[in-house]
Each structure stands twice: as structure tokens, then as C-alpha cells.
A = this chain, B = another copy of it.
Amino acid sequence: MDMPIRTTDEVDLDRLNTALGFLVRLAQIKVYEHFFEECGERGLKPGEFSVLWVILHNPGIRQSVLGQRLMIKRAHMTKLIRALEDQGLVSRRIPDDDRRAVEITLTPSAVTMVQQAADWFFAYEGSIGSNLTAAERQQLTALLRKFIGLD
């Protein structure tokens, strides 16, 4: 009778070892855990920051377009924007030429706040993948961009 597995590195993943979807999921979880270790106390989550950052760089962007680019579903986007509005960070405007749509802008105070948050956010982003060499890191970034279709 063989010994059952007791420790993590004994575990045999077999074909899962080279399954791209599986590896991406693990990478995503690792990134998230790493974020909350380092920036958990900052009060701004990765999703919130990226939404604010994109609005900063694309003032008046429509909710639907923002959602498409960040791959956030409409139903969820509504809640995110609503919460940001409640915090006084964004304002919504219904354009005349399409009264279904909503155009989103940062409030003046949010502009400075996001610019300051960018300091620690991108410092954190840079610290991800520190077990890779600079070349590997850049290669991984490029491959992910191509994989996602962001080129």
C-alpha cells in the first residue's frame, strides 16, 4: 500500500503542468495575494485603480467602452461606477447624441488622488515577477499582450 500524498511538492499535476488556462489562473491568484500583502492597507483595490486610471486617461469615456476594454461586465460596471460616484470620485453625464449612454469623468479631487495612487500602484506592479529576470519579465509581458489580443 503506497503512502498517500502529504506535502505540496509531492503532488503530481500530470498534464495540468502544461495547461495554459490552469497556469494563468494560478498566476492570477498569486498576483492577487501578493497585492494584498503589499498594498492591502492602501484602500484601493486593483480593479478600482484600473478603472480610475483609464478614466483619467480617457475623460468622458462611456461606461460600455470602459467595460469592454477592462473586460468588466455591464452589470458589474454599474455597481463599480455607482460606488465610485458615492465616494465623490467620478461624475456621470448623459450625452445629447445618445441618451442611453453614460460618459464618465474624474472629479478634480480624484485626479490628484489617482495620480498619487499611481506611484505605489505601479511600484507594486513593477515588483511582480521578481523571480524572473528583466528579459523574461518583458518577454512574459509581450506574450501576454499578444495572447490577450492587445496589439
Contacts and interface: CB of A to CB of B under 8 A. Distances in A.
Contacts of A60: 4-5
A81 B11 CA distance: 18
A30 B125 contact: no
Nearest to A1: B60
A40 interface: no
A30 B141 contact: no
A150 interface: yes
Nearest to A46: B21
Contacts of A6: 62, 65
Nearest to A144: B23
Interface in A48-70: 50, 53-54, 57-62, 65-66, 68-70
A113 interface: no
A148 interface: yes
Interface of A: 4-8, 10-31, 35, 46, 50, 53-54, 57-62, 65-66, 68-71, 95, 103, 118, 122, 124-125, 128-129, 131-132, 136-137, 139-141, 143-150
Among all A-B residue pairs, the 10 with the closest Cβ atoms: A4-B60, A28-B28, A23-B144, A19-B125, A21-B31, A140-B143, A5-B61, A11-B69, A29-B71, A8-B68
